[in-house]
Homo-oligomer: A and B are copies of this chain.
């Protein structure tokens, strides 16, 4: 094969991933791991337990890619056909390897279980193929080469697949790809849509650039993934650093965090750093902001309490919202959002409080106050900041976007 690894194909084998009984997370995981070492996946094939189909799929995958990674079909039962298909594709016989049989027997002995006769097949390899050791189960993997492609077979059990990929496959691919280092960084953005951010970035998102910038959107959070390829690790890191600085220049405070950081984590870090505290008063989000805040381990350092005041009576009794205020403006109003935040901050004795009131829908809206209308207030010692939003789509989206927007408003208010 070429000195430099160009691309890979992933093949998932097994009826269970096709029937909807099992979600195939293996292919996505392998794709992500390969991308991180600079090897793009050019095709993913999922096929059932039929030897003829597996053989044809191996041939197709090997014609498309330098590397083929197969998962599944290495178990001991009659519908596990990957090793037979490998042998047929390579044009060789299966042979029993004594050292593999000994290892499998030892594994059963260690567990105190009898070894079934069927497990002997797991000690068989296509003639000439190399072994991917499996220290986590009974099925060793297979390495074979044909027509310039290298094919790996790994078990379908996610834990075994991941361990073997990390221990044996990725190091070998890194060797094959030597002189090629990769660095990756993700920037989390909130406060503008995907197309707006794409426009702000201009040609930074061109597909043939290095570093490459990928953009994905989930629940209002836009994630920019920077992938840099270079001759050395240090060079790739420097490229990612420079790209991050350039993107931050373009996007300003739309960028809230790096890599896996969430809005709640960023807010929490800033609160913990400054020794300040937070209380929450939620109506339409029904506890979702509190859930996000307490998703973060150690939130107890800055979050003391929250209220879900779903009824008007609860807003009045728990937060001291004046009944007349609700009567005059309605429960969904900027005045009530502010009174909720102020009441929560006063009762809890915290530095900050958020108040949220709105109409999550689908029912409960009117022409003046449609479903999706949400008021968010952040109260602190030097004043309140109340904003009006109209979120679209369904109840789930409205609640999610309201909660995320509340956290983002707090972030901008505390300089997180």
Q: Is A272 an interface residue (CB 8 A)?
A: no
Choose, from A15-23, A232-240, A404-412, the stretch at the interface.
A15-23
A400, chain B: closest CB distance, angstroms:
10
Q: Which residue of B lies closest to A215 (CB)?
A: B21
Are A18 and B47 also in contact (CB < 8 A) when A305-B314, A308-B287, A308-B294 are?
Answer: no
With a CB–CB cut-off of 8 A, which chain B residues contact A363? Answer: 297-298
A35, chain B: closest CB distance, angstroms:
6
Q: What separation, in Å, do the CA atoms of A398 and B46 have in the docked complex?
A: 33
Q: What separation, in Å, do the CA atoms of A299 and B21 have in the docked complex?
A: 32
Copies in the complex: 2
Q: Which residue of B lies closest to A363 (CB)?
A: B297
In the bound complex, do residue A43 and residue B56 qualify as a contact, i.e. CB atoms below 8 Å apart? no
Q: Is A295 an interface residue (CB 8 A)?
A: yes
Q: Is A40 an interface residue (CB 8 A)?
A: yes
Contact of A20 among B47, B214, B294, B295 (CB under 8 A): B214
Q: Is A42 an interface residue (CB 8 A)?
A: yes
A281, chain B: closest CB distance, angstroms:
11
With a CB–CB cut-off of 8 A, which chain B residues contact A44? Answer: 18, 44-46
Q: Is A336 an interface residue (CB 8 A)?
A: no
A residues 1-49 touching B (CB-CB < 8 Å): 18-22, 28, 31-32, 35, 40-48
With a CB–CB cut-off of 8 A, which chain B residues contact A368? Answer: none
In the bound complex, do residue B40 and residue A64 qualify as a contact, i.e. CB atoms below 8 Å apart? no
With a CB–CB cut-off of 8 A, which chain B residues contact A172? Answer: none
Q: Is A158 an interface residue (CB 8 A)?
A: no
In the bound complex, do residue A19 and residue B40 qualify as a contact, i.e. CB atoms below 8 Å apart? yes
Q: Is A133 an interface residue (CB 8 A)?
A: no
Q: Is A289 an interface residue (CB 8 A)?
A: yes
With a CB–CB cut-off of 8 A, which chain B residues contact A362? Answer: 297
Q: What separation, in Å, do the CA atoms of A289 and B291 have in the docked complex?
A: 9
In the bound complex, do residue B40 and residue A18 qualify as a contact, i.e. CB atoms below 8 Å apart? yes
Name the 5 nearest CB pairs between A and B, nearest first: A286-B294, A287-B290, A287-B287, A305-B314, A306-B308
Known: A57-B60, A306-B307. 7 other contacts (CB 8 A): A21-B216, A43-B57, A44-B46, A295-B395, A304-B313, A304-B314, A305-B310
A residues with CB within 8 A of B: 18-22, 28, 31-32, 35, 40-48, 50, 53, 56-57, 60, 63-64, 214-216, 225, 280, 282, 285-291, 293-295, 297-300, 303-311, 313-314, 317-318, 347-348, 360-363, 395-396, 399
